[in-house]
Amino acid sequence: MSEEFDEEYEERRRRRNARNEEMRKRKKKQQMIRMLMRRLFPIAGIILAAVILIINGRSIIRGIQGYPAPTRTDTGVAASPAVSENVTRVSEGSEGDLQAGADDAQVEVDKSQQNIEDGGNAQEDSSNDQKIDSLDTESGSSDISNGKLSADEVNHRLRQLVTNDHRQQVVVSGVRASFPDMTALLEQEEEQAQVLKEQKVYTAQTTDATTSVDDEVQSTNGIFIDLATGNILFDRDAHTRINPASMTKVLTVLVAAEHVTDWSDTFEITPEITNYSYVHDCSAVGFSNNEVVTVEDLFYGTVLCSGGDAALGLATYVAGSQEAFVDMMNEKLKELGLSDTAHFTNCVGLYDENHYCTVYDIAMILEAAIDHPQCRGVLSTKKYTTSSTPEHPEGIQISNWFLRRIEDKDTGGEVICGKTGFVAQSGSCAVSYGMDESGMEYICATVNAHSGWRCIYDHVELYKRFAKTV
């Protein structure tokens, strides 16, 4: 049974990852377009400057060489043998050198275009012009060598050789001038894309089918998300600021799990920790002053019985103080893309006007937590006994009462993970992760029910209504 569950879980996780990968690609494309739009204006200026230099370069070269303005003569008249001989020597020497330089310049332009990618449309046009000029130059040199042109036409073609080479060098210089910045920018974008690839994007969206109407749901705020599609099926003020109360501890264990490497390590419960829990009237595991417990005990104590002593102990173990740990929590909110609507001031869930998020935010936090194997294990555990200590030789038995009370209710499947909370300003609240009979996954969050039981029944009602049945 466990193996079947693991296979189903991996398949669902694969589908979620595929969906999020598509969203990452879309986001990366949008970022690239914005970046290129910011860079196109300077590039256009460079191209304009190159055109001006090309025009001026032709006049300068003509002045230096003392060439008159080109005049067309009857191309049917062949050049004299003397002229033909001189032109042949020129075409074998100077023209070869000039063309070799032009070819090198063309290679540089092509390389630049490959690195500039989609933003190099302007350069691409210039490169195409250069290719055409290069073809004209080659054809002209062939005509010169064969003695098909008049002396005046020969002079005109020679001036073209010089001018075309100069034009290519100007364009290449312009590209090279812009290329270092563009290269660095593209490398930065690639690094950011790699980071995004490594980090899953947690998001959900409303659709035309999203509803807020359900007479059986009494909580003032709620959300119900289909994880397979990322669609929000139920949205009742899901983006309104609320105090998350002890649902805060979902982020507490997530941040801690990302930094703890040895769950068997030990931690001493200080009097400051127990006093903090007592003064703020927090739920507590019941650890004694100076009791040495395992870090694993702190994780399970934080979630199952919503222990303030365990949460504060976990924060102190990881960061040295609650203040430092809260900074890590807010950094995680930023990483999850929630920092605009969420900000935490403590790791326990105590009420503070600056301690807030939305129902949507807490749903995204839980989704991130269930993707972490250790967090998922803690959040799905119904009973746990802490390790034996001199103060508690048989350990302390704790339970996740939300999971134990909802397990025998008809939800159309199974509620696997859950965390409750309560403060007067938010009433009874909870966030849960469940699965229907077909194996589809969902996240549900509600706030401001008038009792703990009412909160449970609101979750039951949402799972019954929106979860699929076989």
Confidence of residue 17 (pLDDT cuts 50, 70, 90): low
Confidence of residue 21 (pLDDT cuts 50, 70, 90): low
In single-letter form, the type of residue at position 142 comes to: S
Give, in degrees to the nearest 5, the angle at Cα 142 between 137 and 143. Answer: 100
Provide the pLDDT for residue 116: 41
pLDDT reading at 14 higher than 90: no
Would you list the domain boundaries of the chain?
2-198, 205-466
pTM of the model: 0.62
Nearest Cα neighbor of 411 from 218, 224, 206 is: 224
Q: How many CB atoms lie within 10 A of CB 198?
A: 7
In tens, the pLDDT along 118-160 reads 444 444 444 444 444 444 444 444 444 454 555 566 555 555 5
Please state, for a pLDDT cut of 70, what percent of the chain lies above it.
59
Provide the pLDDT for residue 213: 85
In tens, the pLDDT along 230-240 reads 999 999 999 99
pLDDT reading at 206 higher than 60: yes
More confidently predicted of 166 and 408: 408
DSSP bridge partners of 413: 436
Lowest-confidence segment of 18-27, 103-112, 150-159 by average pLDDT: 103-112
Q: Which CATH class is domain 205-466?
A: alpha beta
Q: Which residues, 6+ apart, have CB-to-CB distance to 298 below 8 Å?
A: 256, 267, 310, 311, 313, 314, 317
